[in-house]
Structure 1
Amino acid sequence: MKHLTLLVPDAQTGPNTISCIVGAYHVFTEANNYYKKQDKEPVFEIELVGASAQSSFVNGLLTVMPQVDIGAIRHTDLIIVPAIAAAFRKLEGLNELLVEWISEQYKKGAELASMCTGAYLLASTGLLDKKSCSIHWNAATNFKNLFPKVNLKPEKLITDEQGIYTNGGGYSFLNLLIYLVEKYYDRQTAIYCSKVFQIDIDRQAQSDFVIFTGQKHHGDEVIIKAQEYIEKNFSEKISMERLSEKFRVGRRSFDRRFIKATGNTPVEYLQRVKIESAKKELETSRKTINEVMYEVGYADVKAFREVFRKVTGMSPLAYKNRYNKLHGVV
C-alpha cells in the first residue's frame, strides 16, 4: 500500500486550507472504499501530517491535530499541499520545516501536489523553478513577483510535470483530486468519485473564471496613468505609438515598462480590458454578440471571437449561454 501525506500547515492558513484537507481526505477515502468493493486492495494509507501538535484555522474557530509528526515519516508516495493564506510574502512558523521536508521527500521519489495557493509553499522549495505551475488567478501577480523562475500558467486548471501537480484556485482543488484518483487508481474509480461528489471530470481550464482588474501595485506612475487611460477609452481606437508619445516615453521603453509592471504588453492589456467589459455585458444584458462586440471597440467578428476565446477559453456565445440567466428568456 502506498502512503498519502495530507500536509497540515503550521501557520499562514486560510479558510480554504481546511477545505482542501477535508476534501482530499474524503475523496481518497471514498476511492479506497470503492476499491474494496471491487475486492481490490486500497491504494493509499492516508495520514494528516504536520510539524506541530495542532494548527488553527479561521481565526482559531477550528483546529486540526495532525495524526503524525513529519519527523516520523521516512517515506511517502504522494504529498498534498493545501491552500494557504493568499497574502503570502515569506515562510512563517514551522512552515519552513515543512518545505524542507517536502524537498527531501521529492528527492526520495515522492510526488507532490499543491492546491490553489499551496503553490506558494511548493514554490518555496525551488522545485517548481522552470516548471509549469497553476494558481488562483487572483494570486498570479503576487506569485510571479515572488517566484519569477516558475513558468506560471494561471489559465490552466491543472499542471502535471515531473511528478509535480498544481491546480488553480478556490474549490477547483476537487478537479485535481479526481485527476489524481485517475492517476493512482483508474479511470473507473475517477468516474465513480466524480459522480459521488458531483465534480466535473476532465475540466482543463479556469480562464472563464478570471475577473480582470489590472495590476496597479507596481509603483510606475506613468504606466498607471497609461492603464487608466486605456480603461477609460478602450472602446475607441487607441494607437500605442501615440499613447507612448502622450506620456513622453519611447515606444520600446514604454512596452518594456508596461510588461514589467503589468505582465502584459500594452496591446494585450487593451484586449483584456475590452474582453472584461464584453464579459460583463454578456453576463447581464440581452444584447447580441455583435452589439457587445461593437460596444467594446471591435468591428471584425472573427477577430473578436479569437481574442475572446484566447482570454476566456470559450466562444462569446458559449460564455453567454453559461452565465446569462436572461439568455433565451422571452
Structure 2
Amino acid sequence: MLDQNSRINVAILAVPEVTASALFGMFDLFSSPGRDWSYIVSGEAGEQRMQPYIVARSRDGFEAANGIWVKPDYDFNGCPRPHIVCIPDFFVNPGESVTGRYEPEARWLKRSHEEGAMLASACSGAVLLGEAGLLVNCDATIHWGYVATLTNNYPGVRVRVDRSLVLSGEAQRIVMAGGGSSWQDLALYLIARFVGLKEAMEVAKVYMLQWHDMGQQPFASLMSLRQTTDVVINRCQHWVAMNYKTRAPVAAMVALSGLPERSFIRRFTKAAGMTPLNYVHALRLEEAKQMLETTDLPIEAVANEAGYEDASFFGRLFRRETSLTPGHYRLRFGSLGRTLKPK
C-alpha cells in the first residue's frame, strides 16, 4: 500500500481485440475509491485515490472487438509510470498461438514489471503475460475455455482453473483473474491492496458487486472437452455423447474402437486430454448441471437421469468437480431459469 495521500497510477492496456466492457468497467471502478462513496452518502464527492488511464502502442484511436471506439490516453513511451498495469480480456481463438503479434505490448509489460509495477490480467489477458515471458514455472489462471491457450504455448505454466484469483511472481506482483466478469474481483483486490479494504468494500457496495469466491469450476462446460482428429477416438466421442447414460460406457467404447482396452485408454487419454472415464463423468455432470438449472427434479432423479444409480456418489463427484453441492448449484444458477420461465 502506498502513502495515504498518493494517487495510484493504473495503466489499463488496450489492444484492438480488447473487450470494451472490461476496459471501461475497470476504468470506472479504479476511478471510484475515495470519490463515489462520499458522494452517495453525503452528496459531495471525495478525493479520488486512483488515477486510471488507457495506454496502447499508439495514441491513434481504434475500434474495439465489439465496435466501440477506444481513444488511448497515452502510448508506451509517453505514459506516466504506472504502479499497476491491468490487462483486460481480448479476443483470441482458444488454443491459438499469438507469438509475435503483440511484441510491443510484451516488451512494455516486461519493462513495467522490472520497474516495480504490479501486473494484473483478466480472463484471456493472461496470454500477454505469457508473451512477456512472465509465467515461466508459475501458477496462473485464465478463463476455463482458454486453459489450452496457456498450456499449449507457454511451457511450465501451471493453470489453476479452480481459483478466482492467482498470485504469482516475486513479491506476488502478478495477479490473474479467471472468468469473463472476474475483472471485477481483480479490481476489488487491487483497490484493497493499494488503497485499503475499507475503500474496496465501499466500491463493492456502490456498484453492488459480489465476490466470486467459488472459482470457475461451476461454469466449466463441454467446451473443455476437445474433439480430436483421431478418427477412431472421435467416433467414440460422438457415440458416448449420445450414450453416456449406458451402464458401462467405457467398455462399450473399447468394443466400438476395436482396440485392446489398455491401448484404447492410452490412445483416448492422449487424444482427448483425459481418461475415458473422466470424459464420461464430464458429459454426465454437464447434463446434470443443465437439469439443475432448468428443472425442479429431485436431486436423486437428476443423478439417475445423468447416469448415476448412487445419488450419494453423484453428490460427492459433483461437489469435487464444481466446488458446490447439487443443491447449492441449483440455488445459485437455477434462479435465472425460474425467472425466465413463462408464468
Q: Does the alignment reach a TM-score above 0.5? A: yes
Counterpart contact for 1:35–1:41, Cα < 8 Å: no
Between the aligned partners of 2:54 and 2:89, the Cα distance in structure 1 is: 15
> What is the RMSD computed on CA atoms of the aligned residues?
3.0
Mapping 1:150-161, distance limit 5 Å: 150-161=157-168
Between the aligned partners of 2:278 and 2:83, the Cα distance in structure 1 is: 42
Counterpart contact for 1:117–1:136, Cα < 8 Å: yes
Residue 44 (structure 1) aligned with residue 46 (structure 2): no
Deviation of 1:70 after TM superposition, in Å, equals: 0.7
Between the aligned partners of 1:315 and 1:301, the Cα distance in structure 2 is: 12
Residue 220 (structure 1) aligned with residue 230 (structure 2): yes
* Structure 2: gaps (5+ residues): 1-5, 40-44
Residue 292 (structure 1) aligned with residue 302 (structure 2): yes
What residue is the counterpart of 1:23 in the other structure?
25
Secondary structure at the residue paired with 2:21?
A: helix
1:25 counterpart letter in structure 2: F
What residue is the counterpart of 2:70 in the other structure?
64
* Structure 1: gaps (5+ residues): none
What residue is the counterpart of 2:133 in the other structure?
126
- Post-superposition Cα deviations, 1:121-174, rounded to whole Å, max 9, x if no partner, equal 121122112222222222233443233432122232211122211112222211
Secondary structure at the residue paired with 1:72?
A: coil
Deviation of 1:117 after TM superposition, in Å, equals: 1.1
- Residues 252/126 of structure 1: CA separation in 2 closer, same or farther (3 Å cut): farther
Residue correspondences, number: 325
Between the aligned partners of 2:273 and 2:203, the Cα distance in structure 1 is: 38
Give TM-score scaled by structure 2 length.
Answer: 0.84
1:99 counterpart letter in structure 2: A
Between the aligned partners of 1:298 and 1:214, the Cα distance in structure 2 is: 22
- Post-superposition Cα deviations, 1:85-138, rounded to whole Å, max 9, x if no partner, equal 132531565x31011111122122221111111112121122112222222222
Counterpart contact for 2:141–2:177, Cα < 8 Å: yes
What residue is the counterpart of 1:104 in the other structure?
111
Secondary structure at the residue paired with 2:116?
A: coil
1:53 counterpart letter in structure 2: R
- Residues 314/170 of structure 1: CA separation in 2 closer, same or farther (3 Å cut): same
Mapping 1:156-175, distance limit 5 Å: 156-162=163-169, 163-175=173-185
- Residues 35/108 of structure 1: CA separation in 2 closer, same or farther (3 Å cut): farther
- Residues 300/201 of structure 1: CA separation in 2 closer, same or farther (3 Å cut): same
Mapping 1:55-94, distance limit 5 Å: 55-58=61-64, 61-73=67-79, 75-87=81-93, 88-91=96-99
What residue is the counterpart of 2:189 in the other structure?
179
